[in-house]
């Protein structure tokens, strides 16, 4: 760890860290097979250090048949040969730490792969056996048990139950190749403690917890109560589309007992921190129903952080952003936690596309990002957003997302297209040689490669580098500084934090800039008739705040 870097040292490093999500299949391919891997990532870590992030979250690289691209784990204690070896993981950790980058790995505790030895043993065992009791096997309804045990639906479409050859049904809230574990069975908790310790011993700095709100189901597995006309469903991104969070009956999600799991894990992490003063963190992926239920995951004896999806779900509107800022800060304050902010990840439509696409979508995306980077707490970036990549319309024959196969909806492949690094044609230096990546990259990406953007001061990459540097320079010491003077006026949002005033114009017309030196802007500013400085629509700026009187 680079101890001389004030941003990196200290127990609370995570409170205001900027973490970059690496979707490992699509970041960098070290061996030329068209799929990203750990050596590919290790070789590109310098790029992330130069970009100015503090930590890297790597999507699952454990042994997996890849039915959901690694979110179906068959062995939590090994690396899938597609991505490398345990030695490659060690090398990655060593190199990242030498560069001052923390490493967060992705833990998938809600379900295993159907190829996991536990599930294979369960299938080979009698109904009622201890092998089956690690999962949620149940008899079906109907005279011959030919109907699923309840009305739950999979997040990826269709019933959440599959009948197995011995006639019972097993629960899978996602794909049928991802059977849900029974977290009321002590074997399960014991195994995951072993998994945590295994990776902590190898040196990881934290865990992103997949489907953190799903582990424990309501006892009895009753039907979900549905209002007239309401479709069974879930609080999670479905097939790349956003679902609105509404209050609904969800016996499969967010049960009170799930918090005991995280209390146990926190004790394990704290034990490691007590040894060397280096805090390791847990971050929840929990699509819960409200900021308050999200806050329950970050009580002082549970996780350190939870993704705040309300920022990502908000439309590009000053009122909506202001409401999310106030709601988030109030919710995390209740439990003394610090907030997080995110605009894109591997499950949702990339934010320039969500904001309308094209030049306007990109201008809005840069503006929302710059605003987010001034807020207290930590920010999560998703690979490729620093290049301004848009969602790709992947041709049906190239789609691989299990949700596409289960629903016929486009799915999430369009946000997972491999990163273009250099060159005028695919594979854009994604890997050595000419192997085409596992999803084709569009021809127009030749102007968006890292190499093409590196020397262009107006590029999105140059903007991200400036914004992250400005965050360190002007807000690096402002960890504890609150948001003040939050205002919405004429479609523009403004607030102050420490020595920085932030202005985001979500309206249609340019707005005059208040006095103060421009520290960083998401795009060019303009001038009014008398030479007044103006902030055009869809743009954000940080100004040096006038000294408090
Ligand atoms: C999470 C992951 C998503 C995965 C799902 C099932 O939502 O982010 O990619 O498909 O869990 O593990």
180-223 pLDDT, tens digit each? 999 999 999 999 999 999 999 999 999 999 999 999 999 999 99
Of 144-158, 243-257, 365-379, 532-546, give the lowest mean pLDDT range.
243-257
Residue 289: the pLDDT is 73
pLDDT at 6 > cutoff 80: no
- Closest Cα to atom 3 of ligand 1: 347
Q: Name the percent of the chain lying above pLDDT 90.
A: 88
Distance CA 510, CA 506 (A): 10
The DSSP-derived string for 272-311 is HHHHHS---EEEE----SSHHHHHHTTSTTS-SEE--HHH
210 lines ligand 1 (CB under 6 A): yes
Which of 62, 116, 174, 181 maximizes ligand 1 atoms within 8 Å of its Cβ, making it the mutation to test the pocket?
174
Residue 21: the pLDDT is 98
DSSP element (H, E) containing 268: helix 258-276
Burial of 188 (0-12, 13-18, 19+ CB in 10 A): buried
> Is the separation of the CB atoms in 382 and 362 below 8 Å?
no
Decide if 390 is catalytic: no
User: b or e along 394-410 (b: 16 or more beta carbons within 10 Å of the residue's beta carbon)?
Assistant: beeeebbbbbbebbebb
Residue 246: the pLDDT is 59
> Is the separation of the CB atoms in 22 and 7 below 8 Å?
no
Tell me the pTM.
Answer: 0.96
pLDDT at 119 > cutoff 80: yes
Residue 9: the pLDDT is 52
Distance CA 151, CA 252 (A): 11
211 lines ligand 1 (CB under 6 A): yes
pLDDT at 12 > cutoff 50: yes
Distance CA 409, CA 157 (A): 10
- Closest Cα to atom 7 of ligand 1: 211
Q: What is the mean pLDDT of residues 480-488?
A: 94
Distance CA 528, CA 546 (A): 22
Of 9-18, 354-363, 377-386, give the lowest mean pLDDT range.
9-18
Q: What is the mean pLDDT of residues 46-66?
A: 98
Q: Which of 210, 302, 347, 401 is catalytic?
A: 210
pLDDT at 243 > cutoff 80: no
Cα(53) to ligand 1 centroid in Å equals 24
Distance CA 316, CA 295 (A): 24
Q: What is the pLDDT confidence band of residue 287, given thresholds at 50, 70 and 90?
A: confident
Q: What is the pLDDT confidence band of residue 2, given thresholds at 50, 70 and 90?
A: very low
169 lines ligand 1 (CB under 6 A): no
Closest approach atom of ligand 1 to CA 346: 9
108 lines ligand 1 (CB under 6 A): yes
Rg (CA), the chain: 23
Residue 244: the pLDDT is 52
Question: What torsion, rounded to 10 degrees, do the Cα atoms 371, 377, 381, 385 define?
Answer: 0
Decide if 271 is catalytic: yes
Closest approach atom of ligand 1 to CA 174: 6
* Residue found under tokens 């020595």: 499
Cα(431) to ligand 1 centroid in Å equals 26
Distance CA 438, CA 67 (A): 14
């Amino acid at each position: 760890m680079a101890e001389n870097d004030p941003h990196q040292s200290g127990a609370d490093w995570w409170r205001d860290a900027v973490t970059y999500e690496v979707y490992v299949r699509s970041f960098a391919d070290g061996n030329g097979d068209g799929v990203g891997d750990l050596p590919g990532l290790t070789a590109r870590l310098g790029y992330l250090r130069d970009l100015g992030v503090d930590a890297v979250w790597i999507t699952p690289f454990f042994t997996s048949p890849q039915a959901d691209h690694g979110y179906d784990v068959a062995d939590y204690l090994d690396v899938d040969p597609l991505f490398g070896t345990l030695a490659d993981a060690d090398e990655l950790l060593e190199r990242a730490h030498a560069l001052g980058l923390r490493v967060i790995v992705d833990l998938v505790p809600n379900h295993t792969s159907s190829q996991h030895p536990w599930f294979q043993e369960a299938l080979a065992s009698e109904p009622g056996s201890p092998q089956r009791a690690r999962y949620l096997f149940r008899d079906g309804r109907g005279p011959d048990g030919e109907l699923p045990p309840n009305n739950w639906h999979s997040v990826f479409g269709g019933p959440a139950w599959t009948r197995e050859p011995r006639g019972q049904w097993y629960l899978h809230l996602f794909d049928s190749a991802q059977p849900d574990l029974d977290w009321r069975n002590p074997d399960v908790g014991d195994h995951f403690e072993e998994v945590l310790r295994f990776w902590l011993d190898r040196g990881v700095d934290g865990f992103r917890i997949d489907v953190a709100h799903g582990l424990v189901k309501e006892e009895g597995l009753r039907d979900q109560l549905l209002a007239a006309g309401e479709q069974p469903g879930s609080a999670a991104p479905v097939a790349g589309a956003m679902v609105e969070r509404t209050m609904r009956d969800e016996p499969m999600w967010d049960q009170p007992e799930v918090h005991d799991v995280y209390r146990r894990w926190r004790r394990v992490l704290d034990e490691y921190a007590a040894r060397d003063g280096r805090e390791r963190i847990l971050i929840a992926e929990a699509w819960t129903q409200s900021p308050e239920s999200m806050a329950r995951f970050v009580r002082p004896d549970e996780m350190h952080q939870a993704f705040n999806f309300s920022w990502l779900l908000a439309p590009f509107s000053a009122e909506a952003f202001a409401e999310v800022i106030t709601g988030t800060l109030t919710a995390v304050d209740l439990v003394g936690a610090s907030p997080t902010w995110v605009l894109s990840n591997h499950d949702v439509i990339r934010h320039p596309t969500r904001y309308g696409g094209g030049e306007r979508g990109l201008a809005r995306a840069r503006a929302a990002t710059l605003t987010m980077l001034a807020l207290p707490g930590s920010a999560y970036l998703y690979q490729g957003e620093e290049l301004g990549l848009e969602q790709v319309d992947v041709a049906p024959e190239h789609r691989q997302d299990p949700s596409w196969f289960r629903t016929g909806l486009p799915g999430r492949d369009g946000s997972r297209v491999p990163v273009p690094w250099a060159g005028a044609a695919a594979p854009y230096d994604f890997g050595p040689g000419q192997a085409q990546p596992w999803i084709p990259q569009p021809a127009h990406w030749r102007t968006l490669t890292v190499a093409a953007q590196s020397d262009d001061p107006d590029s999105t990459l140059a903007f991200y580098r400036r914004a992250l540097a400005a965050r360190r320079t002007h807000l690096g010491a402002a960890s504890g500084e609150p948001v003040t003077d939050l205002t919405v006026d004429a479609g523009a949002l403004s607030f102050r934090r420490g020595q920085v005033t932030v202005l985001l114009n979500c309206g249609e017309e340019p707005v005059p800039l208040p006095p103060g030196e421009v520290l960083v802007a998401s795009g060019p500013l303009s001038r009014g008739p008398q030479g007044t400085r103006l902030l055009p629509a869809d743009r954000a700026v940080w100004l040096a705040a006038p000294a408090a009187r």
